[in-house]
Amino acid sequence: MSIDIYNTGFEVIVVALFAAFLAQVIKFFIFTIRTRKINFKIFTTTGGMPSSHSSGVMGLATSVGLIDGFNSTAFAIALGFAMITMYDAAGVRRAAGKTAACLNRMMEDYYNHDVQAIGGKLKELLGHTPFEVYMGALLGIALAFYFHFYVFVNM
């Protein structure tokens, strides 16, 4: 039994999920090379290079554009969703991470470096730099084209 994925919603879903997954794998290897430590929690954390959110939503939007046309309403909706997601990753969540870092420093000073007394530190790496968002978006776009023109055509 063969499932026809090419030019369907399944193509969009597969590309979006694979793009987000691949970004997390790349993020794991970058972290491992930089720190020379293996940390499997990287697969489930936000922040870092490249942005898996950006990769997933731009893979989704590009796939919709390739299937329905870049002048379609569906592409406009998908691109709007992607832009909001990427803005949030680089803007709002990054600001929240900086706020968490500031609060952590204040609480360390106040509790004499015993932050476990208040339940532990707040998560600081929440968002992305604009470069991390941009690289994630490029990864998602490249994967959408690759899957559409090379992988799914030959299935």
The answer as to whether 139 is a domain residue is yes
Expressed as residue numbers, the domain containing 135 is 9-91+127-151
89: pLDDT confidence band, cut at 50, 70 and 90? confident
Q: What is the DSSP letter of 151?
A: I
The answer as to whether 120 is a domain residue is no
Residues contacting 119, CB < 8 A, separation 6+: none
The answer as to whether 113 is a domain residue is no
User: Which tens digits make up the pLDDT trace of 7-57?
Assistant: 889 999 999 999 999 999 999 998 888 888 887 777 777 777 888 999 999
User: Which tens digits make up the pLDDT trace of 64-75?
Assistant: 999 999 999 999
The answer as to whether 27 is a domain residue is yes
Residue 33: exposure state from Cβ atoms within 10 A (0-12, 13-18, ≥19): exposed
The answer as to whether 143 is a domain residue is yes
Q: How many domains does the chain have?
A: 1
The answer as to whether 47 is a domain residue is yes
The answer as to whether 108 is a domain residue is no
Helices (H) and strands (E) in the chain, counts: 5, 0
The conformational region for residue 46 under phi > 0 = left, psi -120 to 50 = alpha, else beta, is beta
The answer as to whether 132 is a domain residue is yes
